[in-house]
Amino acid sequence: MIIYADNAATTPMSEAAIRAMTPYLRECCGNPSSLYALGQAAREALDSARERIARCINAEPRSIIFTSGGSESDNQAILSAAANGKAKGKTHVITTSIEHHAVLHTAKKLQKQGFDVTYLPVGENGIVDINELEKAIRPDTCLVSVMTANNEIGTIQPVAQIGELCKERGVCFHTDAVQAVGHLPVDVAAQKIDMLSASAHKFHGPKGVGFLYAARGVKLVPLIEGGAQERNLRAGTENVAGIAAMAAALEESVANMHKNAKKLTRLRDKLIRGLSLIPHSALNGDAEKRLPSNVNFCFEGIEGESLLLLLDDKGISASSGSACTSGSLDPSHVLLAIGRPHAVAHGSLRLSLGEDANDEEVEYIISAVSEVVAYLRGFSPVWRDLNSGKGKFIL
C-alpha cells in the first residue's frame, strides 16, 4: 500500500485531464499557428482552455497567458512589474520571507540590479500582518508580491485585504497562487489582484504547464524571445495537450472544491489531533487559516530526513520542508521565519492530503509517524541530552 501524502509537491493527473490531453498528443497534432484545419483545431483548443480557465478565476480570457508553470509565471510577473516600475523611477519591491524560491530568488536578482527589496516578516502563525505591509509601502514601491497560500505550512494570507490596500496606494499586486488555484476560491476581480501565478500539476493537471494572469493595463515583459505566440508575451509553440488538460483539471477541481475542502478539513484536523499527542511536537502555521490538505509538524530531537525515509519504508510519501530544500542541509526558510529555532526546524514533516484520502489512511499515518518518531528518538543523542537535562526542550 502506498499512501501519497505529498500533494503540495505535485498531484496525480485526473482522469478528466488525461482524457482532455490525449487527442492533442495523437490525431489532433497540429501547430496552433498553422492555417490548415489541424492547426486551427489546436488553436480552438487553446482559445477554449483560455476561456474556461479565465472563468475559474473570474478573469477575462485575454488576461491569461500560458507558461511552463508556477516558476516561470512568478519570474515573469515580478520582472515585468519591476521593469514597469523602473521606467517610472520606482525601484522598491515588497514581498515576504515565506515565499517560494521562484519569488525569493527573483527578488534577489532584482536586488543585484539595484532594486530595494523589503522581505516582510510573518507572525508565529505564518501570516503577514496587513499593518506591517501598509507601513512598508513607500512612494517608490512598484510591486507587492504575497503568496495566496504557503506551500510548506499551508497558511492562507489575507489576499483581498492586500489587494484593497495595493489598489488604494496605486501599487501593483502579484500573488503566487500556485497552492490555492483549484483548492481555494480565487476571484481576481473581487480580490483586486493585478497578477497571479498558477501551475497545472498542483491541481491534477500535467507538470510543465501553468498560466499567468495579468489584469488589463498591466504590461508584461517576455522572458523568452521568438515567435509571436501568446500575443508576443511568451514565445514558443504552445503546449496544446498540456493546456487542454490544465483547463479540464481546473474546471473539475473548481466544481468539487467545496465538497473536497469540507472533507479534507475534517481529515486534516483529525491528523493534527493525532500527531499533537506525540510529546514535544508542535503544529507549524495557523490551525485554521491553512489549506484544507496541509499538515506540518516539528518533532523535537529528530531529523526530518530520517523520518521521511522510514515513513517511505512504511508506504507513506511525505516531505520535510519543500522539495527544493530537501537534499540541502539548511532548514526551511519558512520554519525559520515563523520563529522555529534551527534545531527544531530540522525535525519537520509536511503531509499534504489528496482528495481521495480517507479515515483509515489518516489513522495509519498517525500510528506510523508516532512509531517512527519514538524509534528515532530512541537513539538520538540530542533527545538523550534533552531528557538528561543537558539540553532544554523548546517544544
Sole binder of ligand PLP in the list 151, 229, 284, 296 (CB under 6 A): 151
Residues 83-102 that bind ligand PLP (CB under 6 A): 100, 102
142 among known catalytic residues:
no
Residues 161-190 that bind ligand PLP (CB under 6 A): 176, 178-179
Name which of 349, 272, 271, 276 is nearest 317 in CA terms.
Answer: 349
C-beta closer to ligand PLP: residue 99 or 252: 99
210 lies in the site for ligand PLP, by CB under 6 A: yes
DSSP state of 133: H
69 lies in the site for ligand PLP, by CB under 6 A: yes
Grid coordinates standing for 64? 491569461
Catalytic residue among 29, 142, 166, 324, which?
324
- Contact flags string 108-147 toward ligand PLP, x per CB under 6 A: ---------------------------------------x
Sole binder of ligand PLP in the list 30, 70, 206, 285 (CB under 6 A): 70
Name which of 146, 127, 126, 124 is nearest 137 in CA terms.
Answer: 146
C-beta of 151: minimal distance to ligand PLP in Å? 3
71 lies in the site for ligand PLP, by CB under 6 A: yes
202 lies in the site for ligand PLP, by CB under 6 A: yes
Grid coordinates standing for 331? 532548514
Q: How far apart are CA 157 and CA 160, in angstroms?
A: 9
* CA angle (116 as vertex; 221, 325 as ends), nearest 5: 80
Cα distances (Å, whole numbers) of residue 199 to 28, 101, 181, 308, 344: 24, 15, 8, 26, 31
Cα distances (Å, whole numbers) of residue 166 to 94, 139, 207, 300, 359: 11, 12, 32, 40, 42
* Bridge partners, residue 163, by sequence: none
333 lies in the site for ligand PLP, by CB under 6 A: no
Residues forming the site for ligand PLP (CB under 6 A):
69-71, 74, 100, 102, 147, 151, 176, 178-179, 199, 202, 210
Catalytic residues: 324
